[in-house]
């Protein structure tokens, strides 16, 4: 399986949000700058994440995007599913989701069991990995947090 930039950038952006702002609103331009992702592309990705109920948005000067739930409640699997649609390793497994298969060996394909088991294991791993666990990894790796300048006051 090869994940598209939509899911890879989506995960990076949501990690950035959780790590730097928690549940506070974050502006696309800040995520774009820190993660070096096009703001236009982030907008497209965020629309899929909003539709999936992972993100919400708030208008206005203190607005931006924010996590719809706490970081410990959002899994990598949810993010990938919102961006990709599914995480099946091979096309012949699509029939299990109600789609027509194109495999001529479907009835007697031993390797299909390998792909099915690998998909299940991968999905289990993605389901157990949350944004909170990624934030903990980031902290352990020494990833620097950026202070939100909207809430910094000088006298």
- Name the CATH architecture for the domain at 5-86+130-148: Orthogonal Bundle (1.10)
Tell me the mean pLDDT per 10 residues along the chain, length 155.
89 96 92 96 96 94 92 96 84 60 72 88 95 96 78 55
Which residues, including other chains, have CB under 8 Å from residue 29's CB and lie 6 or more apart?
39
CB atoms under 10 Å from CB of 17, counted, come to 23
Helix (H, G, I), strand (E, B) or coil at 87: coil
pTM: 0.84
Give the pLDDT score at 155.
Answer: 62
Which sequence spans correspond to the domains of the chain? 5-86+130-148
Compute the distance between CA of residue 8 and CA of residue 148 in angstroms, rounded to an integer. Answer: 24
Judge whether 111 and 91 are in contact, CB under 8 Å: no
Using DSSP, how many helices (H) and how many strands (E) does the chain show?
A: 6, 2
């Amino acid at each position: 399986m090869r994940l598209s930039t939509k899911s890879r950038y989506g995960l990076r952006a949501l990690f950035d949000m959780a790590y730097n702002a928690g549940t506070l609103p974050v502006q696309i331009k800040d995520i774009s700058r820190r993660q070096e992702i096009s703001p236009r592309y982030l907008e497209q990705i965020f629309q899929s994440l909003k539709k999936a109920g992972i993100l919400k948005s708030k208008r206005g000067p203190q607005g931006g995007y924010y996590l719809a739930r706490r970081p410990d409640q959002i899994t990598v699997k949810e993010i990938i599913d919102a961006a990709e649609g599914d995480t099946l390793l091979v096309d012949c497994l699509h029939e299990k989701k109600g789609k027509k298969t194109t495999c001529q060996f479907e009835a007697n394909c031993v390797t299909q069991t390998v792909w099915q088991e690998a998909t299940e294991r991968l999905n289990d791993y993605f389901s157990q990995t949350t944004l909170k666990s990624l934030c903990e990894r980031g902290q352990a790796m020494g990833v620097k947090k950026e202070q939100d300048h909207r809430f910094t006051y000088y006298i």
